[in-house]
Structure 1
């Protein structure tokens, strides 16, 4: 799957989709800067380009002609897929990450330290099932994998010379996933008819995440104020009149199957931050699976030999620490469970005096039920207009 995606990511349909998505983002940001920000025409364009292409790692000066940007973006996708270490997350670990992500606000993710928190500098995380989420305009999409790579980000306004150390996070959607609107089906059919079928993983947007921990010194109240400011920006961008969600609760849970509402479009940041931090705090165990070499059909004039198969890192949920009081995570001895299901995650901001920073950690996660029983995932149907 990864090899096919690498070979076909420079696909005319993928290129057109990337161009349209970027154009929409720049246009929305430009209009917001003019109307809500009160900027002049040229300043509005520069602001719009900074928080879109600059946030993807594109250094200034920026051009309003997006063709060159899309060309470089495709090359960055290819570099990611070539260099990434592959991670496959188990359903239980994925449920824990989803629950942890629900406790976060956008400013929490700016406490990330890419030198400390990441299990690998560049990686591709394969999910056990697509995540279905609704953006600020209510449109549904699904995500099957996330890729990340280090980058300098240039989305500060006014711009910061040299950029900010961070990460490019690429979302990949499942070509055959649960969200199949008529327009997408028509695109798939046209691509097949032209002899150039789309890859199983299709790049579906890039998110820039700061990775220098520059907000790690702030307390909870200060982080919440930063989050409110960011939410105001997305409120202006949002086209519908639906109210932006308030402060996220400190306790989150995930039972699978529900649509993730993402009006402020920070879900990718929250999910990846939770994944990286849970792995760093050893709540999840990462083991290396080395697949056997696969034989290759010989080409003319070339002897057959084993194909190099990359190692796969399997991410599984670690055993929770047993509490003395038989609290939320304790399995009651007299109950007999025939399935497993995730229970709540509790976010804690813990002070580390030696580092002079707060670090977000989670108590839990907890999975109830016997070890051999299946994890419950709710069956869902999605209406697509």
Structure 2
């Protein structure tokens, strides 16, 4: 996909979100995730609260998406996002101030691997983030005053990168065990277009990122076993997005504006959306040959010892986080370069950056 096309597909998603059938389907999907206990007493979330929260999550996407800035992330940069996410510490805390914009829509070329609680592999082709107003106390253990959080929405691109879930649609069954009827899969495909909704996650400031692979709770495990499936650890999407936002402030990343033609700019104006697309790529760096190093025709490029480090900084540093009164640290990516010939593909093995297992 060419970078300017992100604007066309964003406009397509906006149109589909005006369809109440799609909103209802995605509200139901969000409500399934919200059924898990969220308070210290492990009390079940009331059904009425689940319904209102899931409706608010989908409505926030519909209302705020037009303002979202557009990003196009190269496949190589997506590979580094996965690797960088695996190197974060479980105790790292979410800091929404590192986000490039309050709302955004990013297209990850090639998709980011994502495993669900049943062990099925999905691909995150699109990520959208929008601000919401939260008004319950549990995430911050306070008195419940309203505060801003960010909801992240993940999508597979059914048109260009169909994943395992999309391929299962013709053989799926409903809650009564009935397979799709004649034409139902085709009708659903036309309704959703390229937008395969994976799920939504809310980012609250100063909450811990947690592990790369999350264990399902006992209630979810019991539910999956009752359905005849085997529960698995599932990918923590917050680590992927936090690593992505952090990398935008690092020297390994090169950002530029995509050239947007006049007709596409006009269409964006009519749709009421910004006509900009930021291209995010891996910065190419020349590496000098060490003394005594033999000349080798490398077949690929690779990441050299990338890892995160907390570094002391001042309050005006773009990635500064206040660790205590007057004490600031920034999450810095160390050894941020890729070695090997510019014209060769970037190769990072699963053992290095896998977020599952």
TM value normalised by structure 1: 0.66
Contact 2:35–2:50 at 8 Å: present in 1 too?
Answer: no
1:359 aligns with 2:330: yes
Residue 79 in structure 1 maps to residue 66 in structure 2: no
Q: Does the 8 Å contact 1:10/1:74 carry over to 2?
A: no
Could you give the per-residue CA deviations for residues 99-144 of structure 1, whole angstroms, max 9, x where no partner exists? 110012443142x142xx2222211110011223223342433211
How many Å separate the matches in 2 of 1:321 and 1:277? 23
Structure 2 residue 207 is matched with structure 1 residue 209: no
Match of 1:336 among 288, 297, 318: 297
Deviation track 1:222-261 (CA, whole Å, cap 9, x = no partner) reads x7xx948x99985445517xxxxxxxxxxxxxxxxxxxx9
2:111 to 115, 119, 130: 130
Are 2:143 and 1:183 equivalent residues in the alignment? no
* Aligned counterparts of 1:239 and 1:350: Cα–Cα separation in 2: 40
Q: Tell me how far apart the structure 2 counterparts of residues 27 and 65 of structure 1 sit (CA, whole Å).
A: 7
Aligned-residue offset at 1:336: 1.3
Cα 1:262–1:130 change in 2 (3 A) is farther
Q: Distance in 1 between matches of 2:18 and 2:283?
A: 39
Q: Contact 1:87 / 1:315 at 8 angstroms: preserved in 2?
A: yes
Matches within 5 A, 1:166-181: 166-176=149-159, 177-179=162-164, 180-181=166-167
Residue 37 of structure 2 corresponds to 29
User: Does structure 2 conserve the Cα–Cα contact (< 8 Å) formed by 1:130 and 1:143?
Assistant: yes
Q: How many residues end up aligned between the 2 structures?
A: 307
- Root-mean-square deviation (CA, aligned residues, Å) is 4.0
Q: How does 1:1-385 map to 2 (within 5 A)?
A: 1-11=9-19, 14-29=22-37, 44-45=43-44, 48=45, 63-64=48-49, 66=51, 68-110=52-94, 112-114=95-97, 117-154=98-135, 156-157=137-138, 160-176=143-159, 177-179=162-164, 180-183=166-169, 190=184, 192-193=186-187, 196-211=190-205, 214=206, 227=210, 234-236=216-218, 238-239=220-221, 263=233, 265-266=235-236, 268-294=237-263, 306-308=266-268, 310-319=275-284, 334-352=295-313, 356-376=327-347
Unaligned runs of 5+ in 1: 50-61, 216-222, 241-260, 296-304, 380-385
* Conserved? CA contact 1:339–1:376, under 8 Å: yes
Separation in 2, partners of 1:264, 1:26: 16
In the alignment, the residues of structure 2 paired with residue 138 and residue 353 of structure 1 have an alpha-carbon distance, to the nearest angstrom, of: 43
Render the CA deviation track for 1:269-319: whole Å, top value 9, x for unaligned.
Answer: 111111111112333121011311228xxxxxxxxx943372211001224
Gapped runs of 5+ residues in structure 2?
1-8, 173-179, 223-230, 270-274, 316-325, 351-357
2: CA distance, partners of 1:349 / 1:72: 36
- Contact 1:118 1:280 (C-alpha < 8 Å) held by counterparts: no
SS at match of 1:107: coil
Give the deviation of 1:195 after TM superposition: 9.3
